[in-house]
C-alpha cells in the first residue's frame, strides 16, 4: 500500500484514471478525502470508498451522452471512432462505441493511435474524407486535429455520418480553466 502523510486534509492532484484509482485505496485507508476532477473510469467510485468523490461525468455517462447526440440531433447512422489509447481516450471511445451500437448506429471503423505516435496517416485520411464533401467546411479540420495532436492536446476524435454523408466531427482536448484548474476536457474543433 502507498503512503498518505498524517494530518492531510484532502487530495485532488491525480491527473487521470491510471493514478487516481490506485491512489484512492491509499487515501481511503488513511481516511483522507479524494476529489477527482479528471478521473472518468467508473471503477473509481464503484470501489465503494466513502472518501472518494468525482466532479466530472464517468466514461459511461459521457459515452452515452455523445451517442445520444450523434443519434439524436446529428441523426447519424454510421460513425468512425478514433482514440489515443490513453486511459481517458480509450475508456470514452469504448463507451461511445457501445452506446452507438445500442442506438442502432453502424461503427464503420475504429482507429487507434497513442500519445507517442508520429504517423497519423490513417487518422488524417479519415478526417479529410469526413469533411471532403461538406460545403460549410473550410477543409482545415485535419490541420486542427493535427495541431492538437502535436501539442499533446488530443484525447478522443469522433466522426459521425448519415446516409453516407458526414454530419459532424468532434474531438476532446485537455483544457485549463480560467482560474488555472487543470483536468478538464473541451469539445471541438
Q: Report pLDDT digits (tens) over 97-121.
A: 999 999 998 888 787 766 566 656 6
* Strand partners of residue 173: 186
More confident residue, 13 or 76: 76
Pairing of strands 34-36, 52-54: parallel
Quote the mean pLDDT of the chain.
77
pLDDT of 49 > 90? The answer is yes
> What are the distances in angstroms from CA 50 to CA 44, 45, 46, 99, 174?
11, 9, 10, 29, 28
User: Among 43-57, 148-162, 172-186, whose mean pLDDT is lowest?
Assistant: 148-162
* pLDDT at residue 130, as a whole number: 67
Q: Mean pLDDT across the stretch 140-155?
A: 76
Main-chain dihedrals φ then ψ at residue 96, nearest 5 degrees: -60, -45
Amino acid at each position: 500500500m502507498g503512503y498518505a502523510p498524517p494530518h492531510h486534509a484532502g487530495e485532488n492532484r491525480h491527473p487521470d484514471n491510471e493514478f487516481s484509482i490506485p491512489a484512492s485505496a491509499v487515501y481511503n485507508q488513511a481516511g483522507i478525502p479524494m476529489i477527482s476532477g479528471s478521473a472518468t473510469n467508473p471503477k473509481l467510485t464503484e470501489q465503494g470508498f466513502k472518501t472518494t468523490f468525482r466532479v466530472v461525468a464517468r466514461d459511461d455517462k459521457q459515452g452515452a451522452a455523445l451517442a445520444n447526440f450523434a443519434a439524436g440531433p446529428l441523426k447519424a447512422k454510421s460513425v468512425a471512432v478514433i482514440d489515443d489509447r490513453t486511459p481517458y481516450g480509450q475508456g470514452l471511445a469504448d463507451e461511445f462505441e457501445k452506446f452507438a451500437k445500442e442506438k442502432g448506429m453502424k461503427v464503420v471503423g475504429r482507429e487507434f493511435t497513442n500519445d507517442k505516435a508520429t504517423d497519423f496517416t490513417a487518422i488524417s485520411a479519415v478526417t479529410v474524407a469526413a469533411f471532403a464533401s461538406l460545403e460549410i467546411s473550410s477543409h482545415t479540420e485535419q490541420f486542427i486535429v493535427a495541431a492538437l495532436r502535436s501539442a499533446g492536446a488530443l484525447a478522443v476524435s469522433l466522426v459521425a455520418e448519415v446516409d453516407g454523408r458526414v454530419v459532424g466531427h468532434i474531438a476532446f482536448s485537455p483544457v485549463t480553466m480560467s482560474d488555472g484548474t487543470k483536468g478538464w476536457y473541451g469539445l471541438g474543433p
